[in-house]
């Protein structure tokens, strides 16, 4: 049998699995415990995206961290188990990712993701774009907007143009490289509230974990005329 443990102050991250009606939760003085997982649920994205959690396997009333041959501790006695949907309130407390204890610092990184995401933005060079856009019909450009980004051009919308470049998908006003997601995906909205509280910007998050902020009011509709005027 497997158990998940997470500190009570991080309880809000269990919201990702609150709808799993097969699992049960219990509380001790410091932690929230969750059990009765289906085996395939242990490797599900919803579990992987919960920061600060630990998965244990129970053997002879001793808890072994998943994959470890050495026991860590005993399962607390007297736990009162209840379906997780009842154990967790609908409105979970807000999480301040700016504060962590000395041993609880969390860095935000991207990681490769197997999830298929529809590209929403294309970062390309002028030389790649000019040959296509001069011949493109208006209806092909009308759904799109664009902005000049340093020495490149960023195009937003769907469907994107069949032009060579780097593609990004949209998540909570972040543009993430296709094929990648935040390591702790559950922090996405928290990051947005901290970095873009008014929702006035789009933030590009690159694979090297650098970010670029673009004001939404800087984007303009893509058309042949706007393109020619800009580069005339």
State the average pLDDT for the chain: 84
Contact 38, 108 (CB under 8 A): no
Average pLDDT value for residue range 82-96: 65
pLDDT of residue 107: 65
How many whole angstroms separate alpha carbon 186 and alpha carbon 49? 6
Average pLDDT of the residues in 24-47? 89
pLDDT bucket at 157, cuts 50 / 70 / 90: very high
Q: Where are the domains of the chain?
A: 2-87, 121-231
Cα 189 to its chain centre, rounded Å, is 8
pLDDT value, residue 199: 86
Is the pLDDT score of 95 beyond 50?
no
Q: pLDDT at residue 97 above 90? A: no
Residue 91 has pLDDT above 70, yes or no: no
Model's pTM, two decimal places?
0.59
pLDDT at residue 198, rounded to an integer: 85
Contacts 24+ apart (CB under 8 A), 5-10: 5/31, 5/32, 5/33, 5/34, 5/53, 5/54, 5/56, 6/31, 6/32, 6/34, 6/50, 6/52, 6/53, 6/54, 7/31, 7/32, 7/52, 8/32, 10/51, 10/52, 10/53, 10/95
Specify the range with the lowest mean pLDDT, choosing from 49-58, 163-172, 192-201.
192-201
Interval 159-171 mean pLDDT: 93
- Mean pLDDT of the 197-216 span: 87
Residue 94, pLDDT score? 44
User: Computed from CA positions of residues 86, 90, 93, 98, in that sequence, does the dihedral angle turn out positive or negative?
Assistant: positive
**How far apart (Å, rounded) are the C-alpha atoms in residues 46 and 18?**
10
């Amino acid at each position: 049998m497997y158990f998940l443990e997470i500190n009570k102050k991080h309880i809000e991250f269990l919201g990702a699995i609150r709808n799993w009606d097969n699992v049960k939760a219990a509380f001790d003085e410091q932690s929230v415990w969750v059990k009765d997982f289906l085996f395939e649920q242990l490797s599900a994205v919803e579990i992987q995206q919960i920061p600060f959690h630990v998965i244990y396997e129970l053997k002879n009333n001793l808890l072994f961290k998943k994959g470890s041959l050495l026991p860590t501790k005993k399962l607390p006695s007297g736990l009162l188990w209840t379906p997780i949907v009842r154990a967790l309130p609908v409105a979970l407390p807000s999480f301040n990712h700016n504060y962590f204890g000395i041993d609880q610092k969390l860095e935000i990184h991207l990681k490769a993701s197997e999830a298929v995401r529809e590209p929403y933005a294309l970062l390309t060079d002028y030389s790649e774009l000019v040959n296509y856009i001069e011949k493109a019909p208006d209806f092909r450009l009308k759904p799109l907007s664009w902005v000049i980004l340093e020495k490149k051009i960023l195009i937003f919308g769907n469907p994107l143009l069949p032009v060579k470049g780097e593609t990004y998908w949209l998540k909570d006003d972040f543009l993430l490289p296709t094929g990648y997601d935040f390591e702790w995906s559950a922090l996405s909205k928290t990051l947005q509230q901290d970095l873009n509280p008014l929702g006035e910007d789009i933030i590009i998050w690159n694979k090297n974990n650098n970010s670029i902020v673009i004001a939404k009011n800087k984007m303009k509709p893509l058309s042949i005329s706007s393109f020619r005027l800009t580069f005339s």
